[in-house]
Amino acid sequence: MYDFVVVGAGPAGSRFSRRAAERGYDVLALERGSVGEPLACSGHVSTDVWEFTREGAREDLLQNEVFGARFHVGGPGSDDYPFYKREVVSNVIDRVGLDRHLAEAAREAGVDLREGHSVSTVEERPDRVAVTATGPDGTETFEAKMVAGCDGPVSRVRRELGLPEPGEKLQGVLGFSDEDDPGDYVDVHLTAPRFFAWRIPRGDSGVEYGLAAPPGSDPGANALFEEFTADYDVDTGEFCAGMIPVGPADSVTSRRGFLVGDAAAQTKPFTGGGILYGMTAADHAAREIDPEDPGTLADYEAAWRDDLSTEIRLGHWIRKCYSLPERVQHAGLSAFSGEIGVHMDKPTSFFSKEHLAKLLSRS
């Protein structure tokens, strides 16, 4: 019997698997398809991502460096409001490569990671869990002391454990052009309902275009994406789509199971990104949870919420600004644009001494 069965080998799942294995636990990780595929997430991340990778990852995965963002209330060609730093703000990376890198790190730590295994049921028993999955060799049931649901926004584990859904799910759409663009600014367009659209230069790897919108929007996310790329006069060919969970539920743990990453909606409400928050929560899970003691699941709940809940709460307030009247958006962006001292994953940094000093220096 395993200590943990981990369902999902994205960043959160691979990170938790690796850290748990490094603590001496026997870990089985099951990935429904091939690690990193299909792509359904942006490759724009903060520079903190390298703290979670092995040596040499940056040289292998980096595609571009970003120094700031231009915000637009309208579409391409509309007035823009730049926010920037004099040093690198964020990185654009090979997103599929990141997943594979993290999965390989988990394997090297001793994790039994199996691709092509689709989980169908999760049964909690008094002293163990039974996870049934279908793989290349047929259907098999694996037993463990605990199960970790790291299987994304539409989580099978969450449903099987009877845990509550995230507060909201957005429909995200992503596509890539073959433009050669080494630019060091991303473009953010506040044109999608209750969210935004983006353009991210990836150096000689092309340009990433994307947007997110609530399901049921009229027009829908796919149509909005086609309009957005048409306005930029680019053809991204086929594009990928996926759900973005926003707003963690009151509980992400059960008797012998827990959720990490997108399955737990551990994401930034103002961008939808979840790589850093998910891996941060994974580290808390590996530190706090003892598979022999279900009571330690409460310690995980407390630890990750203590670390991330304020950032998530402030992120919700930032997102509300996307739906303000255009004249208010223009006024706000105009007032705050310029050199900044904020961290892209930490809304609390808006109140940092560094950022306040940048604001005061403009007056």
DSSP string, 192-236: STTS-EEEEE-BTT-EEEEEEE-TT-SS-HHHHHHHHHHHTT---
The single-letter DSSP state of residue 346 is: B
Domain-embedded: residue 43: no
Instruction: Report the distance separating Cα 140 and Cα 119, nearest Å.
Output: 10
DSSP string, 63-132: EEEE-EEEEESSSTTS-EEEEE-SS--EEEE-HHHHHHHHHHHHHHTT-EEEES-EEEEEEE-SS-EEEE
Query: 217 and 172, same structural domain?
Result: yes
Say what the pLDDT of residue 359 is.
Answer: 66
Query: What is the domain range of residue 328?
Result: 64-92+168-246+324-363
Query: 209 and 125, same structural domain?
Result: no
Query: 159 and 266, same structural domain?
Result: yes
Query: 196 and 101, same structural domain?
Result: no
Query: 123 and 229, same structural domain?
Result: no
Query: 22 and 108, same structural domain?
Result: yes
Domain-embedded: residue 306: yes
**Beta strand 112-115 with 27-31: parallel, antiparallel or unpaired?**
parallel
Domain-embedded: residue 55: no
Say what the pLDDT of residue 353 is.
Answer: 76
Instruction: Report the distance separating Cα 276 and Cα 273, nearest Å.
Output: 8
pLDDT < 70: residue spans in the chain: 356, 358-360, 362-363
| Cα separations in angstroms, 69 against 81, 127, 326 | 8, 51, 19
Helix, strand, coil percent content, the chain, rounded in steps of 5: 35, 30, 35
- 355 and 361 in contact (C-beta within 8 Å)? no
Query: 115 and 241, same structural domain?
Result: no
DSSP-based three-state secondary structure for 290? strand
- 190 and 322 in contact (C-beta within 8 Å)? yes
C-alpha closest to that of 53 among 305, 276, 329 = 276
Q: For the whole model, what pTM was predicted?
A: 0.96
Query: 100 and 32, same structural domain?
Result: yes
Query: 242 and 175, same structural domain?
Result: yes
Query: 179 and 30, same structural domain?
Result: no
DSSP string, 145-170: EEEEE-S-SS-HHHHHHTPPPPSEEE
At residue 103, what is the residue type? A
Sheet holding 168-177, edge to edge: 240-246, 168-177, 207-213, 197-201, 185-189, 68-72, 80-84, 338-339
Say what the pLDDT of residue 158 is.
Answer: 98
* pLDDT tens, residue by residue, 211-225: 999 998 889 999 999
CATH number at residue 71: 3.30.9.10
Query: 226 and 183, same structural domain?
Result: yes
CA neighbours closer than 13 Å in the CB half-sphere of residue 82: 10
CATH number at residue 283: 3.50.50.60
The single-letter DSSP state of residue 47 is: G
* pLDDT tens, residue by residue, 137-178: 999 999 999 999 999 999 999 999 999 999 999 999 999 999
Domain-embedded: residue 44: no
- 286 and 303 in contact (C-beta within 8 Å)? no
Cβ density class 143-153: b for 16+ within 10 Å, e for less: bbbbbbbbbbb
Phi, psi of 93 (to 5 degrees): -130, 165
Domain-embedded: residue 182: yes
- 21 and 106 in contact (C-beta within 8 Å)? yes
Say what the pLDDT of residue 361 is.
Answer: 76
Say what the pLDDT of residue 107 is.
Answer: 98
Number of structural domains (the chain) is 2
Give the pair of three-digit tokens for residue 73.
């209330």
Say what the pLDDT of residue 358 is.
Answer: 65
Query: 284 and 218, same structural domain?
Result: no
